[in-house]
Structure 1
Amino acid sequence: MPFFLDNVPTPKNNLEPSYRFLNDELFIKLDAVNKQTLGEFKNISDKKAYIINSFIQQFKLHIGNDIYPSARLIFPDKAGRLYYIKDIVLARLIIKMYSIPKDSDDYSMLYNWKLQYQKTKRFTVDQHKLRDLPLQAARIISNRRNYMNETHEFSVADINAKLDALNLAKKSAEQIEILKPLFDTLTIPELRWLIHIILKKTILGFFENYFLNSWHPDASRLYSICNNLQKTVNYLVDPNTRVDPNLLTVHPFYPFKPQLAQKLSSSYAKLIKDFQKITDMEPQMQTLFDKLDLKDKFYIEEKMDGDRMVLHKEGPHFKFYSRRLKDYSFLYGENYEFGSLTKYLTEAFPGNVDSVILDGEMVAYDYVRKAILPFGTLKSSAIQESVRQYTIIDQYEQQSSYPYFLVFDILYLNGRNLTNYPLFFRKNILNKVIRPIPNRFEIHDSRISSSIEDIKRAIREIVGSRSEGLVLKHTQSKYHIGYRNLKWIKLKPEYLEKFGENLDLVVIGKVPGVKNSYMTGLRNETDGSYYSFCMCANGFTNEEFDKIERITHGKWIKTKDQIPSKSVIQFGTKQPPWWINPRDSLVLEIKARSIDAQSEKTFAVGSTLHNMYCRRIRTDKNIDECISMQEYFQLKEKFSTDVLKSQSAALKRKQLHNLDLFNESTIKKQRVESNLFARFNFMIVSDKLDPITGERTSREELMKLVKKYGGNLINAVDVLTADRMLVITEKMLPLCESFINRGIDLIKPNWIFECINRGTILQLEPFFIFSTSNWDKYTVGKVDQFGDSYIIYNSITELSIPRLSDSELRGARKLHMHEWGDQRPKLYLFLDTNFFVVGDTMSAKFLGQRIMRYTGEITKDINGCSYIVVPIYDDEKNRIETLDAVNKISSKISEGLLFDEGSFTRIPFIVTEKFIDQCIKENCIVDPEDYKYYQKQISFSKKSFAIN
């Protein structure tokens, strides 16, 4: 069916625009805008907007309406060219181009670009712009090219022709032959911006949409539905002629960014209340709504671990576009003849379906295991399936997976746009136009739900199968192209009932160093000011550091020269050396390990986050979309101090009183042979493990031993027993923390054995103390400067080493990454973090020892751990046994989930051993999202999920 963008004429220009015109009137002027050059303008944004509007007015007045050739240079990432030239490649091309000697500083800078040379040059502010390759390269070339060469003024057409040729060049010699004449004869500013264009670095930054809408009010919207820069600017010539809104809709073979879901930010009760609100509908829609019995209902769908994909079909032709608009048609198929998926779709559509656009998830399906495979295997599965069509060799048959498309929405059908229709109507249509091809092409199952219990039941299912998560959808939700829909809410297991979800935070300050730390802030809804909140230095790649500096270049203000107004930013006792106005800043997606519930003055918010890791820079979000200070306080009230510390998932206060620490019937049978411990009450909490031999003495054996020597065993603390109570443990469990807070010390099991061996009660010294709130009473006069006892013999393997007190250790741990710098000790990497290692093989034991080397705790309690780790060797060599073990663990976690008010089940992350490798490599707890052990099957069975 024809579309109004199919045949767009090319407008005419009065004269050929020059590349120098773009540089002088747009690139250089935009780059020069900073706080010191505002002049009569109120802020940076206003001045940049003025420069863009002036440039467009000059272009239309003096040149004409054909801006597309110039737009290919203004929007280098939208020009459709692939040079395969990254920063390092270009730097080394320049070395060859100008025969730069190895012993020169220029060679060191270019050859080692992004390596150690750059890392050691991160000054407080990048005054010399050492991380700006286009600028540095232009400077080096200007000093090395023949000064006798005269500069030449190139037209925009000349530059585009050279770049088109560069797009086809494959060898470095060909690339040098194209680029060197340009590099030799362009002015230095022109050369700098040409390198920007070659590297496809944004020139307009956040002003790309503004530029489009300044060209024509409908340009940004039109580009969003077609993602074709040429058609957009060529069709929209007269800004006074607006496009019919009915035309600004999706159309087959024109890629667009799909709608995204929001994260859960409210309680289940409020979510359901919002999802049960219904707006008025036309009579026909209301009749269908009533027929489907959807009153007070909503949809629950499983969030799959695949690649979001939009399928376009028109006649026998297909296109597949990812959420980032990458064309995967060559992989999945462009027609019924070839393709890893489309050749199986000959019977997938009724004969009256000519054109359709479907939104869904492309996953990899293993037909042997009958399971969805992890996201990383999808592309290889598709390639393998495609190769089978062209070869008779069976070498690919050993791989048993192939692409599997799960459709969950329909957006277009036979010339009609469906995005403005309610979701229940679209789903009803979808079920009529799809003929499922089992495990190849099917409609994704949806559950019609109405209560919190329905959500909880679905949560248990996805936790049990280690699935990606859930998406909850309002029955009336429309489809918003390229935006997040507040009526599509996603839930992931790791942030269902605990703190751990990613927060979008605004950068307000910077502490420069070898690894920059960025201070983020929260907006106070009461006064509009941004309050300092936390510092983050982990998770950034060199490219991301560069991107942040590029986006914020010229906008940083030195704190000692100017303190920000309290109406803009408020700091706590910690002030960064540099600050930035939030409106000139950017948004970071931060994942934190815990909320610090302690009141502190370091940050203006009054508390902070710990163990932060930057997931990504959110260029798609503005500062107004970030979490506010008031919303954070609601989170802070809900979540505990540290959700990844050792703790039981299910214990409540009343359950602690009823905790059965020992089997009394077996202990009572123990015969008393001595009254050595008769004066004491013992609470035995953990086993005893010999660190040398690995021999374990169980808790029950310790209890029998205490009983044998006259000790009294208790399982609760009261006023009468507290003074004579000894808590025996070598593990820090939740109830142990409560004992410490109440002033009760924790004693190691070896004290019991030492007393029995000597036949007397020994004084308590650091050698016997596992933890206490008062170390001084056990050290003064009783041990030497190294903490060793004067009377207790320590073997060489048990020698004490100087150690921090608990208070000193807590203080040290509260130091932020920038205060540790590169000296942050890896010894504390996994401190207060419990790990469950799957299996009891040698590789599992080695993995456990490696974790303990960095102060991690190995536990056999899956509900009391932070991470469940699968050894790589076992997963590869004993795949079936390992997968079965993990499946059983997942089922046990699912069965133990609690949803009681005030009691939150912490769901451990199930990760591969690569998670441990990366944590050690980066010296921080990285985001486990990237190292998850994949799910075993589709969680929502087709039998239990039915559409009415």
Structure 2
Amino acid sequence: MASADQQPTSCTSTGASTEPEGPTVASQIPFVQLCGFLERVQKKKGSDAKKLLFKEFLEKWREFHKAMHAKNPNTTDNFYPAMRLLLPQLERERMAYGIKEHTLAKFYIDIFGLAKESTDAKKLLNYRAPTAKQEAGDFASVAFFVLRNRCPERGSLTIKDVNDSLDSIALNNATKKKDLVKQSLLNLLRKTSAIEQKWFIRMIMKEMKVGLSQQSILGTFHPDAEDLFNVTNSLSKVCSDLSSPSVRLNEIAISVFSPFSPMLGERAKITGVERMMEHKGFLIETKLDGERMQLHKEGDKYMYFSRRSHDYSGSFGKSPMEGSLTPYIANCFNRDVHSCILDGEMCAYNSETKAFISKGENFDIKSLRDEEDVQVCYAVFDVLLVNNTKLANRPLKERLNYLPKVFTVIEGRMVLVERRDASTKAEVVEALNEAIDKREEGIVVKHPESTYRPDKRKGSGWLKIKPEYVDNLMDELDLLIVGGYFGKGYRSQLISHFLCALAVPPSREGDHPKIFYSFCKVGSGYTLQELLDFNQKLAKHWKKYDKENPPRWLQCTREKPELYVEPQHSFIVQVKATEINSSNVYRTGCTLRFPRLEKVRDDKDWHQCMTTEEMENMRQQAEGKLTGRHVNVDDDEIVTTKRRKATSRAVIPVAVPSRFRAADTSNVKQTSEMLEGRELCIMNSPASHPKDQLEKKIVECGGLVVQNPGIDTYCVLADKVNLKVKNIFSAKIYDVVKTSWLIESLDAGRLLPWLPSHMLFTSAKMTAQFALDYDCHGDSYTQDVNEEKLREVFANVEKKKSKQPMTAEQIAEIEMDYFPQDSLLGLFRLCRVYMDSCLVIGEEDTHIKDCSLDLVSLEMRFHGATMCPMLDRQVTHIIVDKSDLSRVREFRLRGQKRALKQHVVTSEWVRDCIQKEKFLSERPYEAAMS
């Protein structure tokens, strides 16, 4: 770097003399010097040594700035131009470049005129593939090796030039001027060396990978830098206000319309709450499932900032005349409040059910408008400023006293978060169990003496407790790994993330699933050693995923893996998550929120993974949440336990027995045209006609033989129905014909037509054709029948008679296929209902009162429900009369011990469902305990 004793010369036309606002240090420091510093930091071992290098670089910058200022007092800038390049992930002013690695690779290929099939082009496009140790997983490193012989040996740009180029790219991307973005990149390529391009790429990708953390850089720059950034989220303000290390920030200032990082809750165990609250009283708040949002108000101007300081004022309303929220709350502020800052949660509220809606219901609160009874509601839990009076340094209990003086609650628009006083672990357990019953996200425990400390989590005095933090509360999902993604950074040589799938239930009971739907992507929950074990297990079985010709058994939508593995070569993993969200990214139509891998299920085979049907049942019963059980206040197992180490399974080598190998037909001569142009696949054959002999006969007759059916296969032949044949059945694509048909055709010397008796499985097309010629028992409408064929028809009739009656699930499936919107008779088809019999227990006898539920029971049966005389494990709904709620508490206690969620609802739910002709959510009709 150029220091005070090594004055740099201006490299471009943006020198000091041409800047009307005064000279800048950034316009005098060559960008290559910053890149050289980053190279040294990256190669240095140990965080202390890296911080020492940064301190030296910073001191040289300050010395040079001092020397420039002595010559020209109008020197204007500070360390911000360099800081925004060192910490690009924190820079908000030019946040969106619209460029990812793949896009940048295409730009480079186009700019340098590389052939798409050339080695260098493939390196750029497939940078994550571990082709070379020093390159794998890091696009910047790969680009360096490709560009090193194509760029100038030394660049001519300054730090200011690079910042100007980045700002230009961001601006052109925002205005969708892709040609200008490409032009900016081309200009940079002409004026920078390969090593500068390497670091420029990392800056634009916002992944520096030098081993210097945000805390280390800000802490070295100034002791108060991190605190000021947490409040202001502005690197520019940090560098300007704290340019001198001798000047300390006396007080963190929270001001109107300046966003800051909010105070956060520390993750805690229930058993430690009393100790962390100093064995004193505390507050328990409901943790709402919304988006953290600050509301800044001054007069009639409003601004809304997210947790990461994004401005969403345009969505919620900058004035009382615009937005989805401000027009509804502008009049609720007290007249003497002209300015304030509130902290809270922006939620979606259903005005009909008078309940908040989970984020898992696939909506964006920022773009939500009042439609179908869903509206934006702001739930407030803290106040930080009122009329220029700063409250952050005051205790929470004092801040809460201000809230009623600031605004008046408007139901469904602006409310106060529910809170209660507590002092014991038992009260925390009770509050968490209530949150579980209400399908809420959890609870927050707050120390009443806590002050507001922006961006602080540990030791803040706020504790967050969610069901997923408590062991054994969350439902565990057994998913199959079907795909993988190359890692980055220290995982660059590994498959670091995995695509997990659900199995589509096979058509026949006992068969293994053959189709799998993509469901979620998991990249956390395992150690590096466990990740190495996973990679070792699957190393031999990974295959490249071809988007143009994907494997038929794996069905994906938008999210596709880079590699895939056949199900029989994979294994099941146990995954936990907070809830199930709707998503069109995965084939299942839903995915998991915050999934994490718990362990490998060595006790289960690949085909025993969770099915789509099981997932849908869980989703409906739990309304998307994955917590079904309660915490026990006397349970010493409340604390989270360590996950058992995943053990390796032995990999069994796979070999193909000789009887399954293809016959050698290289010397077979064609003698007939009976099977000309037809492709056949023989799965197995009778002992009297070996498979290889039949394959040679097919070739003699002009046919083609394959070992696995494809899109051109005429039919599949089999003598016995084994596992492999069942797999073909489940695909529902191919006609599977008995091998006897081929033998009969060969004996007859001509291709015989298929008869129903020949078929093991028929495709949809063939089934339709048979329906025109034969009845459901295989009896032909046009051909005479002999004794043997007649016996076959009678045997088919007997088989039809012996079939079991359809289950409620099968009936529901038919109703959905044929009457998806017309029939109401299956409204409660999947409900197993227990009616509260209104028992009255006296001292001498027990009798049943006259109950109004008799008619309700008949109505539910009429609409498809299964009525249960006993309250067994399969009951999904308990119907009670709202005039007698005496047994609701007993039902609730029973339900806490059940794995399957059951709803205790009043009969109003049944009547409203029938009246509105749709299955309504049970939550608004849940019976209250008397």
TM-score by length of 2: 0.51
Any conservation in 2 of the 1:463–1:894 contact (CA below 8 Å)? no
Any conservation in 2 of the 1:11–1:234 contact (CA below 8 Å)? no
Aligned-pair CA distance for 1:336: 1.7
Matches within 5 A, 1:332-481: 332-375=316-359, 380=364, 382-385=366-369, 399-481=372-454
Letter in structure 2 aligned against 1:357: I
Question: Which residue number in structure 2 is paired with residue 584 of structure 1?
Answer: none
1:162 aligns with 2:165: yes
Matches within 5 A, 1:75-224: 75-79=87-91, 80-81=93-94, 82-112=96-126, 118=128, 121-122=129-130, 127-143=133-149, 145=150, 151-169=154-172, 170-202=176-208, 206-224=212-230
Aligned-pair CA distance for 1:87: 1.6
Distance verdict in 2 for CA 1:161–1:49, change over 3 Å: same
Letter in structure 2 aligned against 1:445: E
Q: Distance in 2 between matches of 1:181 and 1:477?
A: 54
Matches within 5 A, 1:927-938: 936=923
Q: Distance in 1 between matches of 2:406 and 2:925?
A: 23
Q: Distance in 1 between matches of 2:210 and 2:489?
A: 22
Once the two structures are superposed, residues 735-769 of structure 1 have per-residue CA deviations (whole angstroms, 9 ceiling, x without a partner) of xxxxxxxxxxxxxxxxxxxxxxxxxxxxxxxxxxx
Question: Which residue number in structure 1 is paired with residue 514 of structure 2?
Answer: none
Question: Which residue number in structure 1 is paired with residue 61 of structure 2?
Answer: 59
1:20 aligns with 2:31: yes
Aligned-pair CA distance for 1:419: 2.3
Question: Which residue number in structure 2 is paired with residue 227 of structure 1?
Answer: 233
Secondary structure of residue in 1 paired with 2:265: strand
Q: Distance in 2 between matches of 1:638 and 1:137?
A: 44
Q: 1:242 aligns with which of 236, 241, 248?
A: 248
Question: Which residue number in structure 2 is paired with residue 309 of structure 1?
Answer: 293
Q: Distance in 2 between matches of 1:132 and 1:171?
A: 27
Letter in structure 2 aligned against 1:258: P
Aligned-pair CA distance for 1:516: 7.6
Secondary structure of residue in 2 paired with 1:484: coil
Letter in structure 2 aligned against 1:252: V
Any conservation in 1 of the 2:262–2:454 contact (CA below 8 Å)? yes
Q: Distance in 1 between matches of 2:595 and 2:888?
A: 27
Q: Distance in 2 between matches of 1:893 and 1:258?
A: 41
Aligned-pair CA distance for 1:399: 3.7
Q: Distance in 2 between matches of 1:304 and 1:935?
A: 20
Distance verdict in 2 for CA 1:592–1:159, change over 3 Å: closer
Q: Distance in 1 between matches of 2:346 and 2:334?
A: 22
Once the two structures are superposed, residues 14-69 of structure 1 have per-residue CA deviations (whole angstroms, 9 ceiling, x without a partner) of 683324354345211112224xxxxxxxxx11210111000001101123461112
Q: Distance in 1 between matches of 2:922 and 2:236?
A: 43
Question: Which residue number in structure 2 is paired with residue 71 of structure 1?
Answer: 83
Relative CO higher for 1 or 2, CA cutoff 8 Å, sep ≥ 6?
Answer: 1
Letter in structure 2 aligned against 1:425: E
Q: Distance in 2 between matches of 1:68 and 1:414?
A: 33
Q: Distance in 2 between matches of 1:535 and 1:472?
A: 39
Once the two structures are superposed, residues 605-635 of structure 1 have per-residue CA deviations (whole angstroms, 9 ceiling, x without a partner) of xxxxx99xxxxxxxxxxxxxxxxxxxxx986
Moved more, 47-56 or 103-112: 103-112
Q: Distance in 2 between matches of 1:325 and 1:841?
A: 52
Question: Which residue number in structure 1 is paired with residue 625 of structure 2?
Answer: none
Distance verdict in 2 for CA 1:168–1:189, change over 3 Å: same
Q: 2:40 aligns with which of 18, 29, 33?
A: 29
Distance verdict in 2 for CA 1:938–1:898, change over 3 Å: closer
Aligned-pair CA distance for 1:228: 1.0
Distance verdict in 2 for CA 1:122–1:139, change over 3 Å: closer
Q: Distance in 1 between matches of 2:925 and 2:415?
A: 13
Any conservation in 2 of the 1:462–1:468 contact (CA below 8 Å)? yes
Distance verdict in 2 for CA 1:596–1:164, change over 3 Å: closer
Q: Distance in 1 between matches of 2:923 and 2:336?
A: 38
Secondary structure of residue in 1 paired with 2:295: strand
Distance verdict in 2 for CA 1:594–1:129, change over 3 Å: closer
Q: Distance in 2 between matches of 1:861 and 1:378?
A: 29
Secondary structure of residue in 2 paired with 1:260: coil
Matches within 5 A, 1:311-326: 311-326=295-310
Any conservation in 1 of the 2:26–2:160 contact (CA below 8 Å)? no
Q: Distance in 2 between matches of 1:312 and 1:469?
A: 27
Any conservation in 2 of the 1:364–1:373 contact (CA below 8 Å)? yes
Letter in structure 2 aligned against 1:122: P
Letter in structure 2 aligned against 1:154: L
Aligned-pair CA distance for 1:429: 1.3
Distance verdict in 2 for CA 1:463–1:235, change over 3 Å: closer
Aligned length: 546
Distance verdict in 2 for CA 1:264–1:442, change over 3 Å: same
Matches within 5 A, 1:277-676: 277-278=279-280, 297-375=281-359, 380=364, 382-385=366-369, 399-486=372-459, 487-496=461-470, 498=472, 513-515=494-496, 591=596, 593=598
Any conservation in 1 of the 2:257–2:296 contact (CA below 8 Å)? yes
Question: Which residue number in structure 1 is paired with residue 47 of structure 2?
Answer: 45
Aligned-pair CA distance for 1:408: 0.9
Aligned-pair CA distance for 1:454: 3.6
Q: Distance in 2 between matches of 1:356 and 1:516?
A: 45
Letter in structure 1 aligned against 2:198: R
Letter in structure 2 aligned against 1:248: I
Q: Distance in 1 between matches of 2:164 and 2:475?
A: 48
Letter in structure 2 aligned against 1:87: E
Any conservation in 2 of the 1:497–1:904 contact (CA below 8 Å)? no
Q: Distance in 1 between matches of 2:90 and 2:116?
A: 37
Letter in structure 2 aligned against 1:318: Y
**Rg comparison, structure with higher value:** 2
Question: Which residue number in structure 2 is paired with residue 552 of structure 1?
Answer: none
Q: Distance in 2 between matches of 1:384 and 1:221?
A: 34
Q: 2:264 aligns with which of 260, 264, 284?
A: 260
Q: 2:255 aligns with which of 227, 233, 251?
A: 251
Any conservation in 2 of the 1:509–1:520 contact (CA below 8 Å)? no
Letter in structure 1 aligned against 2:269: S
Distance verdict in 2 for CA 1:893–1:188, change over 3 Å: farther
Any conservation in 2 of the 1:227–1:256 contact (CA below 8 Å)? yes
Secondary structure of residue in 2 paired with 1:89: helix
Instruction: State the identity as a percent.
Output: 26
Q: Distance in 2 between matches of 1:800 and 1:89?
A: 43
Once the two structures are superposed, residues 835-873 of structure 1 have per-residue CA deviations (whole angstroms, 9 ceiling, x without a partner) of xx99776459999xxxxxxxxxxx9999xxxxxxxxxxx
Distance verdict in 2 for CA 1:358–1:533, change over 3 Å: same
Any conservation in 1 of the 2:229–2:238 contact (CA below 8 Å)? yes
Q: Distance in 2 between matches of 1:251 and 1:935?
A: 45
Secondary structure of residue in 1 paired with 2:331: coil
> Which stretches in structure 2 are left out of the alignment for 5+ residues?
1-20, 67-76, 477-487, 499-522, 536-593, 604-608, 611-634, 645-718, 726-806, 818-829, 834-862, 867-874, 880-884, 903-919
CA RMSD of aligned residues (A): 5.1
Aligned-pair CA distance for 1:365: 1.4
Letter in structure 1 aligned against 2:385: Y
Moved more, 186-195 or 479-488: 479-488
Any conservation in 2 of the 1:222–1:232 contact (CA below 8 Å)? yes
Letter in structure 2 aligned against 1:370: K
Any conservation in 1 of the 2:382–2:399 contact (CA below 8 Å)? yes
